[in-house]
Amino acid sequence: MATATTNGSSTVIKPDHEAGRKHFIFSQEHEDLRESMQAWVQKEMWPHRNEWEDSYWPTEVMKRAGELGFLGLCFPEEYGGQGGDYYYSLVRAECMSYSGSGGTNMAFAVQSDMVLPPIHLLGTEEQKQRWLVPGIKGEKVGALGITEPGAGSDVAGIRTTAIRDGDEYVINGSKTFITNGPRADFIVLVAKTDPEARHDGITLFVVDLRDENGEKVPGFSVSAELEKMGMHASDTGELAFEDVRVPAENVLGEVGKGFYHIAWELQGERLVAAAGSHAGCERMIEKTLEYAKEREAFGRPIGKFQAIRHKFAEMATKTEAAKQFTYATAWRFANGEYPVREITMAKLFASRVGCEVADECIQILGGYGYMKEYEIERAYRDVRLNRIGAGTDEVMLDVIGRSYGL
């Protein structure tokens, strides 16, 4: 343990680079979770990262995660969750960075941190039994349907409609860029129940996409499985709804309040995205550091050149800033504040750091970095989504600026 006392007669600060200085938000419980989840990810996900790029992550892995309790960390035990606090989500996101697969991480985050939280927060008891409980078990895969071909960041501009007809709503429209969409059993869907209104015409629904035999429900189709720059392990769909009928009891939360529900939902998602970014940076830096210590040029390891050494210092510093920002903001969130401004900043900051670090790692790895084998080019492609998904950088800047009255 290092010392930095101020009242001894011979103050010495001894370097102790290995000191385990866990952040004040984490307790032993969090460290225990970190240890077990990281071990699982390294054992059961990491070895398969390359094959999943071609085949998508297998649905059984989600069941396995459910069995181990990793999908319900923050949900109450009565629904099969672990009853943990919000920090469990951060630990989860950090541990997933060991999978080596951005696509898999995203798919799991959609399930545990985007689809299930609104059902838990807004759902009736019956809705929780129908979707939250099997979702936590990993028996049902969920998706979140906000973005449409014609409306992304501007959520109020969506066109999918859900029109009341007796005891049912009739849904028409399409959704795109939907993670888990092609295989999802159900979707938390954002639709207009009052097509004339903007923010106040939006309602959330939980819609079963498949019946008990696994067949698509009438009127629902996957119009495309989308090819992407990265996140290849994840299936992304364009979904079409043609006169899909859902009972009125599938409304999630209040009719006409869907926009505000989603605005809340996005906050948790953004913070988890930020945590995934800094943890991903740590993995990239570790891998690249190993290379820089082994690879020799001009008679010494390239890491011993000052130009390379300083790149590592820069990357580590940015990453640490992102991490501390996310932790500090999570502390606020977990303590009952609703710090939209700081969450938005943390997401913006961490996403950019992710892209910068990926790019710098490729640079240090040189030709190898550009080759598939070293997996950094994949990380680069995967992480590029962070500055677009869950709200673009530009939307983040707008949210932050407006919080100052501008």
Active-site residues: which are they? 269
The DSSP letter of residue 399 is H
Token readout for 248 is 């009125």
Which residue type sits at 225? E
List the one residue out of 337, 292, 297 whose CA is nearest residue 316. Answer: 292
Strand 168-179 to 161-165 pairing = antiparallel
Say which residues have a Cβ less than 8 Å from residue 37's Cβ, sequence separation at least 6: 68, 70, 91, 92, 95
Residues pairing with 237 in the sheet: 178, 225
Interatomic CA distance for residues 347 and 273, integer angstroms:
7
In the complex, least distance from residue 73 CB atom to another protein, rounded to whole angstroms: 21
Q: Which residues contact 376 (CB under 8 A, 6 or more apart)?
A: 284, 287, 288, 358, 361, 362, 365, 369
CB nearer to another protein: pick between 46 and 260: 260
Residue 343: CB minimum distance to another protein, A = 9
Residues numbered 7 to 46 that lie near another protein (CB under 8 A) are 7-17, 19, 21, 23-24
Separation between Cα atoms, residue 109 and residue 92, nearest integer Å: 9
Stretch that binds another protein, among 82-90, 154-162, 182-190, 258-266 (CB under 8 A): 258-266
Closest approach, Cβ 245 to another protein, in A, equals 26
Beta carbon nearer to another protein, 131 or 349: 349
Regarding 126 and contact with another protein (CB under 8 A), the answer is no
Candidates 147-155, 172-180, 208-216, 395-403; binding stretch for another protein (CB under 8 A): 395-403
Q: Which span sits near another protein by CB under 8 A: 163-171, 204-212, 228-236, 307-315?
A: 307-315
Q: Give me the least distance between CB of 112 and another protein, in Å please.
A: 20
- Of 154-183, binders to another protein (CB under 8 A) are none
- State the pairing for strand pair 220-225/236-247: antiparallel
Interacting residue with another protein among 225, 313, 371, 372 (CB under 8 A) = 313
Contact range with another protein by CB under 8 A, out of 2-10, 34-42, 57-65, 178-186: 2-10
Q: Give yes or no for residue 324 binding another protein (CB under 8 A).
A: yes
Residues 335-364 that bind another protein (CB under 8 A): 335, 337-342, 345-346, 348-349
Q: How many residues bind another protein (CB under 8 A)?
A: 77
**Token pair listed for 131:** 């979707």
